Structure 1
């Protein structure tokens, strides 16, 4: 079992529908243990909210599944999850199937440098189509059952996540700025290549969302411009698209050259009635 996964993890990931609307929370406590048969994970899940996604994902039981774990690959052996995962340092990409949820999952999670925080995002699919997303941040404990201070920490963390979870990710519309940080770089063979400094800047242009119009504004290119640079050789930029779409030009036919009004077709029924 990976050392980074030891202990009990607590979180309350937000539940989003396929259009990105927040529709509820998943109250989670999960842990792993080593048994005679190998590593086993359990996950206690309770959903809040309303609507079809809660009816679908409320399992009514504790998740339980075996894991063949190593620093190279993970195999989820069921009964509640079947699939594989590939660690890249402290980041894990997993693809698996849940019989209880009847969905394919593509999940990303990463344990941060403090060893106590895990960022989690899971995209659920019906075939190729996205049907839901779980997204949240977990905290790890080792003595929640016996330590009142740890119990309070978990309660406070979940309360904070309830406040932050539904908040949409909107770039600043009136203030320029940048996100900067350090990325861990791993090759496709999962070997660690080093670190990469990265900066993503925004520069607001106007408070008009893409695809909308305002008086005196012919087109809208969005409120911000984002660029990303890194210490790695490759650089990328995202072009902003204009909402203005050119209309096709229709050449008039020779029959309608003397009149700008289109000719109304005569139906079979009206032709018979007039004969």
Structure 2
């Protein structure tokens, strides 16, 4: 197993939520917020962050994930609310300008943030994630109804109980996007809490509910078109984006970005390919 690098951990209160943050690098270096994917946590950057040169990497457990607090009772998890959270966190830390690194859902949040506040973003680095699943505007009523019904029913659901940490790690290894044992271990250990009879994930069950609304393709294009920061997008050859219809037909929109296809799956930044991911981002940051 790879040696775990030294990491600083601290908390920030923003938007009424306690956010847990893992940090790597000297405090005097330019800040880089790192945002994880859906149902992951800040530990997903434990292998990549120490390899990135020239930054103070701040990996945030997003609301409802990892060791961060949950949204108030009865409140849904809308992806754009994470944009407000990150702006609030940056303001609390006194950071007017900063760079962004995002994986999967975290990449989507970074795109929305960089498109909404282009004057605050230095550089944008994305891993197998750039815009959310889009839908036609005519689908909005059914989508909202589905989400509201989900909110009504979520209180009846219970989290899976794992008798041991090893069983929880095994379940994460075989999830929607499979992980090696080493990668699954760091995410799982950070994401679990001890309860009577075993262990459960800390993550909020509401994260699994349908979105209240989805962006249309025109919405997604507008956010991408508004980005002014130099942007590097790494796509996994066995990932989830390369074959999406809207990605295939958006090459003109993305031509000003630096785009690389690397071997590996959706979590390539946590697996054997992490060195290649870091090399690409370091070259990009150095202007090469």
Q: TM-score range by the shorter chain?
A: under 0.3
Greater Rg over alpha carbons, structure:
1
**Which structure shows the bigger proportion of residues in strand conformation?**
1
**Which structure shows the bigger proportion of residues in helix conformation?**
2
The TM-score with structure 1 as length reference comes to 0.25
The TM-score with structure 2 as length reference comes to 0.24
Larger RCO of the pair (alpha carbons < 8 Å, separation 6+): 2
